[in-house]
Structure 1
Amino acid sequence: MSIRIGNSCVNCESLTSNNKCKVHGVSVDTSYTCDSFEMKAALKNDPNCGTCARYEKVSCANPLKAASKMLCSSWAPQNATA
Structure 2
Amino acid sequence: MSIRIGNSCINCANLGANELCKVHGVKVSTSYTCDSFEMRAALKNDPNCVSCVRYETDSCANPQKAAPGMLCSQWAPQSAQA
Normalising by structure 1, we get a TM-score of: 0.48
